[in-house]
C-alpha cells in the first residue's frame, strides 16, 4: 500500500471507530499512536516515501470539509497527521502544530488539545537534546555550562502566536 493510500485510510470508519472512544486528547493521542495505520505512516515518513508536501496536501483536503458550528468530521485523521509531525521538524510541521495549538475551536476540541500536547512534547524533546558541555577554543580545559530551559505550558502556547524558547545560561566552571 502506498503512503497516499494509507493517509486516506485515516478517514475510514474503521480507523475512526478504533480511536474515537478516547475522552481526552492525551488518551486519543496514545490510541492513534498504537494503530497499525499510524505505525506504517510513521515508517513511511522516516523512510522519506511520505513527504511533508503529501501531508500538507492531505491536511488541506481535510479542511475543505470544515464547517463552522459543526463538529469537524475528519478530526481523528487530522490528529493522526499532527502526531506524525510531532517529531518531524519542518516548516509545515511548525505551522501546523502552532496554528492548531493556538485555536480554541468547539468544532475540533480533541484536535486542538492533541496539537497542544504534541507541541509541549516537542519542546521538551528539543530541550532534552541540547548539549550541556562546550569546549572553548581559547581554554585548554572544557567549560561546563549549566542551563535552565523554560518550557512553556500548554496555556502559554495557546495564548502566543509563535513558540519562543527561552534559555537562561549561567556559566559554572568545572575544574577536573
**pLDDT, tens digit only, all 176 positions of the chain:** 898 999 999 999 999 999 988 889 999 999 999 999 999 999 999 999 999 999 999 999 999 998 888 999 999 999 999 999 988 888 888 889 888 888 888 889 999 999 999 988 887 655 555 444 334 444 444 444 434 444 444 454 444 433 333 333 333 333 34
The answer to whether 145 touches 134, Cβ cutoff 8 Å, is yes
Cell of 14: 474503521
Report d(CA 149, CA 82) in Å as an integer.
24
Phi-psi region of 169 (alpha: psi -120 to 50; beta: other; left: phi over 0): beta
Amino acid at each position: 500500500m502506498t503512503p497516499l493510500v494509507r493517509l486516506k485510510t485515516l478517514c475510514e470508519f474503521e480507523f475512526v471507530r478504533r480511536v474515537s472512544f478516547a475522552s481526552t486528547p492525551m488518551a486519543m493521542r496514545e490510541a492513534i499512536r498504537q494503530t497499525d495505520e499510524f505505525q506504517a505512516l510513521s515508517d513511511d515518513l522516516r523512510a522519506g516515501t511520505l513527504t511533508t508536501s503529501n501531508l500538507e496536501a492531505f491536511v488541506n483536503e481535510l479542511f475543505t470539509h470544515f464547517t463552522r458550528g459543526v463538529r469537524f468530521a475528519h478530526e481523528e485523521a487530522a490528529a493522526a497527521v499532527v502526531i506524525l509531525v510531532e517529531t518531524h521538524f519542518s516548516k509545515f510541521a511548525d505551522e501546523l502544530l502552532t496554528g492548531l495549538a493556538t485555536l480554541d475551536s468547539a468544532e475540533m476540541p480533541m484536535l486542538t488539545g492533541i496539537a497542544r500536547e504534541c507541541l509541549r512534547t516537542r519542546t521538551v524533546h528539543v530541550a532534552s537534546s541540547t548539549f550541556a558541555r562546550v569546549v572553548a577554543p581559547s581554554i585548554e580545559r572544557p567549560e561546563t555550562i549549566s542551563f535552565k530551559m523554560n518550557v512553556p505550558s500548554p496555556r502559554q502556547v495557546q495564548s502566543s502566536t509563535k513558540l519562543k524558547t527561552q534559555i537562561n545560561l549561567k556559566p559554572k566552571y568545572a575544574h577536573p
